């Protein structure tokens, strides 16, 4: 049997979303490697922004062109990260409409900034700073969401609790789990996290892809044990009685067992 977490050791912000009858097997934040990309975007953004700003007075030369090319590549990286184009292809119609509306809003903001720069009401340095601050704010939101996103495995369910202001609790009963696989990239093997792809009975699934799950081998074994582990034998209530015949020395016993 794998050990479970004592009920008094489960934090209150997790326990309030669980049924008192289900025991907690694992509770943990998702792996810190999830923060590598937001932090990298901030660090690289600071350097390319400084590079463009420093080369701006010259306005010509190879250094100026290289700085703008690097800044453009960084912007493409930011866009690809935020929108995650691979997942956007699989969005449902409602999600696609939301993405389209957000794209129009972002395009309008970028057009407004470009108009201000062109009319010299807003300097190039100011434009670069606005873009950098926007990326920093987005990265800080990602860090905050990671800090308030928890993976929980109980004796009955797989639960993901997330949300800074509005809390979302997504769960899947272990008994309904029909298929599960986990994958680890080279970086995941080095840092100790993996991606779980789980399937359940029914079309609507609250949980499907869970990336950056720490200690994936241990988690996989825990889930497998809950699915395929032998049931613990329930104790039986046995009552034995009898009598002894003094004349013959015979002993008669009677018994009764519940269950």
**Structural domain spans, the chain:** 7-30+149-228, 34-146
Strands (E), 17-149: 24-29
Q: Residue 230 burial (CB < 10 Å; 0-12/13-18/19+)?
A: exposed
Structure-token pair, residue 51 = 């590079």
CATH class of 7-30+149-228: mainly beta
Q: What is the structure's pLDDT at 42?
A: 93
Describe the chain by its helix, strand, coil percentages, rounded to 5.
50, 20, 30
Distance CA 246, CA 235 (A): 35
CA 9, 12, 17: angle at the middle one, nearest 5?
110
Q: Is the dihedral of CA 209, 212, 218, 219 positive or negative?
A: negative
Sequence-distant (6+) residues with CB within 8 A of 29 are 146, 147, 149, 150, 151, 214
Sequential pLDDT tens for the chain (259 residues)? 556 677 778 888 888 888 888 888 899 999 999 999 999 999 999 999 888 888 776 666 677 788 888 888 888 888 888 776 445 444 434 444 555 555 566 666 666 666 665 555 556 777 788 888 888 888 888 888 888 889 999 988 999 988 877 788 888 888 888 888 888 889 999 999 999 988 877 666 667 888 899 999 999 888 888 887 655 555 556 666 666 666 666 666 666 655 5
Sign of the Cα torsion 170, 171, 176, 181 reads: positive
Residue 94 confidence (pLDDT): 42
Compute CA 210 distance to the chain's CA centroid, rounded to the nearest angstrom: 6
Residue 163 CB partners (closer than 8 Å, separation 6+): 145, 148, 149
Q: Which residues pair with 252 in a beta bridge?
A: 243
The CA-atom distances, in angstroms, between 77 and each of 8, 34, 147, 178, 206 are 45, 16, 24, 37, 29
Strand partners, 161: 150, 169
Q: Where is 118: in which H helix or E strand?
A: helix 93-118
Nearest to 52 by CA among 81, 73, 78: 73
Kindly provide the b/e burial profile for residues 167-197, where b requires at least 16 CB atoms within 10 angstroms of the residue's own CB.
eeeebbebeebeeeebebeeebeeeebbbbe
């Amino acid at each position: 049997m794998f050990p479970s977490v004592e009920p008094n050791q489960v934090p209150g912000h997790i326990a309030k979303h669980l049924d008192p009858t289900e025991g907690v097997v694992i509770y943990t934040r998702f792996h810190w490697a999830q923060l590598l990309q937001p932090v990298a975007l901030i660090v690289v953004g600071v350097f390319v922004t400084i590079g463009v700003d420093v080369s701006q007075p010259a306005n010509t030369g190879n250094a100026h062109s290289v700085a703008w090319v690097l800044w453009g590549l960084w912007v493409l990286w930011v866009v690809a990260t935020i929108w995650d184009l691979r997942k956007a292809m699989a969005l449902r119609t409602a999600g696609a409409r939301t993405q389209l509306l957000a794209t129009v809003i972002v395009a309008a903001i970028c057009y407004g900034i470009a108009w201000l720069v062109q009319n010299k009401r807003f300097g190039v340095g100011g434009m670069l700073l606005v873009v950098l601050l926007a990326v920093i704010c987005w990265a800080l939101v990602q860090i905050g969401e990671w800090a308030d996103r928890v993976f929980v495995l109980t004796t009955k369910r797989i639960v993901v609790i997330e949300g800074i202001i509005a809390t979302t609790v997504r769960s899947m009963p272990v008994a309904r789990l029909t298929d599960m696989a986990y994958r680890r990239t080279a970086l995941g093997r080095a840092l100790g996290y993996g991606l779980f792809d789980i399937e359940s009975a029914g079309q609507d699934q609250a949980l499907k892809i869970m990336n950056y799950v720490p200690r994936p081998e241990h988690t996989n074994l825990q889930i497998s044990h809950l699915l395929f582990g032998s049931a613990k034998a329930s104790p039986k209530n046995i009552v034995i009685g009898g009598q002894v015949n003094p004349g013959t020395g015979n002993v008669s016993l009677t018994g009764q067992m519940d269950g």
